Structure 1
Amino acid sequence: MRWFRLIPAVLTAALLMTLTPVGAVQAAECEVSRPVKFAGLDWQSNAFHVEVARFIMEKGYGCSTDSIPGSTIPLLQGMARGDLDVTMELWRDNVEEAWAKIRKANQAEILGVNFPDAIQGWFVPRYLVEGSGAKAPGLKAVSDLPKYKQLFRDPEEPSKGRFYNCILGWGCEVINTNKLKGYGLLSDYTNFRPGTG
């Protein structure tokens, strides 16, 4: 097996990396004289991406950084004013109007995509609708939801199902709330908004 030949080289490289003085590798000098400000949006995947980007900016480019906490619309408005430099994650479907206005005014630029295959929608567990043990094989559309509300029983209102919405204040929470009203589901489902995403 040829990969055994690589082991000594890998071990040697690892040893040399551990022996290299920490100060031997210096960060580049930052091209910006002020802190690079990131949008500290209030969900975990964004927090992770922001911290990774801040680490790279600080350690790799020698920049100071800051993360400004907030929700999507206020932080987008801050970006349009020049108060923020970077947002690492944006669910544009939830803020279409605000995003279109900012893009039209050339106040923001898309540099990359975090989740190229990310979708938003209403989902139920596959085991409920498929297979021999499926409890809701007839659940094919939103209009079928009232027939199956007992499968999603709300412990606080047992006569209704519980619809798990986005957290209060997110764009998707507003969209889902309007859809629940529009589809006439509020008589069969509670609109549950969790405390965190």
Structure 2
Amino acid sequence: MDQKDSKSWRWVKDHWKRNPIGAGGLLIWLVVVFPFRLVGKAVAPPARLAGRNPQWATIAVTIIVVAVVVPLWLGGFLNFRQPTIRLVDGQWETLSINNAIAKFVIEKGYGYSVETVVTGDWRTDLSDGTVDATLEGWQQNYREWYNEATSKGKVDTLATIYENGPQFFVIPQWVADEYSIRTIFDMEKHWELFKGPEDGTRGVFHNCPPGGQCSEINPVKLEAYDLYKTYKVVDSDSYGRSKRL
């Protein structure tokens, strides 16, 4: 089932779950009333119900069914709510902020309910329709997946939140100024400024959150810069907690 079909089916299930009266009324109309009108005299009740006139019997039964179904259907229709929009919650700060802003605007401005979903693999969940959108794709970190998913029509880029979204290694400005650190190669001779409490023989490089492509790229860059001799990589999340690799 492709993304379009899965979303349509999910919409039907959401509508049924939230508006069982309206959905049930519509189902009765389609299954009972419409076929009954089509077959007409062939399924009319005994003639004695309408003065031996099968056509009037059909009309009478139709009126009774409609009198029951229409109020039920209207009751469900008036209580109809739009399906929930599911946003990826990747558990990093900037995305949490963007989700909160989007949730407020969508719910207050457009009347849709919004749910943030923590996923094991947001790329897979976005492709198969388990979630509807992510507000931070960082597609430059997932070129192979992104190109394949867009070419197959599984995902689409609707807008840009960050104009450039550069990614780079960061140290405090005052440290760079005081110790004249201008390039990545200056880090080798100043590793002691960044050594961790557990291992005093190397500095600590705090990697980006696990699961992102940058968490795989950074160790490769450190090796290319020949910094593994003086720095160890520590796997960090965006809230400051970290664990040693």
TM-score, normalisation: structure 1: 0.71
**2:158 matched residue in structure 1:** 111
Partner residue of 1:24?
none
Matched, 1:75 2:122: yes
Say which structure is richer in helix.
2
Could you tell me how far apart the structure 1 residues matched to 2:109 and 2:171 are? Answer: 43
Q: Which residue of 1 aligns with 2:111?
A: 62
Displacement of 1:143 = 3.2
SS of aligned partner of 1:157: coil
Rounded to whole Å, the distance in 2 between the matches of 1:117 and 1:172 is 16
In structure 1, distance between residues paired with 2:173 and 2:100: 34
Between the aligned partners of 1:147 and 1:65, the Cα distance in structure 2 is 50
Is 1:85 paired with 2:132?
yes
Q: Is the 2:92–2:237 Cα contact (8 Å) retained in structure 1?
A: no
Structure 1 residue aligned with 2:71: none
Q: Which amino acid aligns with 1:89?
A: E
TM-fit CA distance, 1:176: 0.8
Distance 2:109 2:176 in 1: 49
| 1:101 aligned residue | 148
- Within-5 A mapping of 1:33-182: 33-70=82-119, 74-130=121-177, 134-135=178-179, 137=180, 139-182=181-224
- Taking the aligned partners of 1:76 and 1:123, their CA distance within structure 2 comes to 27
How big is the shift at 1:60? 2.0
In 2, distance between residues paired with 1:60 and 1:41?
24
Offset at residue 114 of structure 1 (A): 1.6
Point out the structure with max Rg over C-alpha.
2
The answer for the alignment partner of 1:23 in structure 2 is: none
Counterparts of 2:196 and 2:86 in 1: how far apart (Å)?
42
Cα root mean square deviation, aligned = 2.4
* Inter-partner Cα distance in structure 2 for 1:195 and 1:66: 22
d(CA) in 2 for partners of 1:40 and 1:76?
Answer: 12
Distance (Å, rounded) in 2 between the aligned partners of 1:59 and 1:143: 50
Any idea what SS the aligned residue of 1:193 has? strand
Return the offset for 1:33.
4.6
- Where 2:186 maps in the other structure, the secondary structure is helix
Q: Compute the TM-score of the two structures, normalised by the length of structure 2.
A: 0.58
Query: Would the aligned equivalents of 2:119 and 2:125 in 1 still touch at CA under 8 Å?
Result: no
Q: Could you tell me how far 1:188 is from its partner in structure 2?
A: 0.8
Distance 1:123 1:187 in 2: 19
Rounded to whole Å, the distance in 1 between the matches of 2:236 and 2:126 is: 28
Aligned residues: 161
After superposition, the C-alpha distances for 1:80-134 in whole angstroms (9 at most, x for unaligned) are 112221111122232222122212222222222222143101123333333xxx2
**Percent identity of equivalent pairs:** 24
